[in-house]
Amino acid sequence: METKVTIQSKLPRTGRSIFSVMSDLARRNSALNLSQGFPGFDCHSELKDLVSKYMNQGFNQYAPMEGIGVLRVSLANKLLSSYETPVDADHEITITAGATQAISTAISALVREGDEVMIFEPAYDSYIPSITMAGGTPISVQLRGPDFRIPWQEVKNKLSFKTRMIILNHPHNPSGATLCDEDIQQLRIVTEGNDIILLSDEVYEHITFDDREHKSILRYPDLYQRSLLVYSFGKVYHATGWKLGYIVAPEYLMKEFRKVHQFNVFSVNTPMQYALAEFLQQPEHYQSLSGFYQEKRDYFLSLIKDSRFKFQATEGSYFQLLDYSEISEEDDIAFAERLAIEHKIATIPVSPFYGKGSEDSYIRVCFAKENEDLERAAKILCKI
pLDDT digits 0-9 by tens, 91-145:
999 999 999 999 999 999 999 999 999 999 999 989 999 999 999 999 999 999 9
Q: Where are the domains of the chain?
A: 18-43+287-383, 61-283
Cis ω before 171 (30° cut-off from 0): yes
Q: Which candidate, 376, 367, 368, places its Cα nearest to that of 311? A: 367
Q: What is the pLDDT of residue 1?
A: 59
Write out pLDDT tens, residues 156-166. Answer: 999 999 999 99
Same fold, 18-43+287-383 and 61-283: no
Cis ω before 64 (30° cut-off from 0): no
Give Cβ neighbours of residue 45 (< 8 Å, ≥ 6 apart): none
Q: What is the pLDDT of residue 9?
A: 86
- What band does 286 get if pLDDT is binned at 50, 70 and 90? very high
Domain 61-283 top-level CATH class: alpha beta
Q: What is the pLDDT of residue 14?
A: 79
Considering the four listed CATH numbers 3.40.50.280, 3.90.1150.10, 3.40.50.720, 1.10.10.60, the one that applies to the domain covering 18-43+287-383 is: 3.90.1150.10
Q: Is the pLDDT of residue 21 over 90?
A: no
Write out pLDDT tens, residues 38-70. Answer: 899 999 999 999 999 999 999 999 999 999 999
Write the CA distances from 178 to 66, 226, 313, 382, integer angstroms: 30, 21, 12, 28
Write the CA distances from 101 to 98, 122, 265, 307, integer angstroms: 6, 20, 9, 39
Give DSSP secondary structure letters for 160-174: -TTEEEEEEESS-TT
Element housing 69 (H / E): helix 69-83
Give Cβ neighbours of residue 336 (< 8 Å, ≥ 6 apart): 22, 346, 347, 348, 349, 363
Write out pLDDT tens, residues 338-380. Answer: 999 999 999 999 999 998 877 789 999 999 999 999 999 999 9
- The pTM assigned to this predicted structure is 0.95
Give the C-alpha separation, 302 to 306, whole Å.
8
Backbone angles phi, psi at 78, to 5 degrees: -60, -45
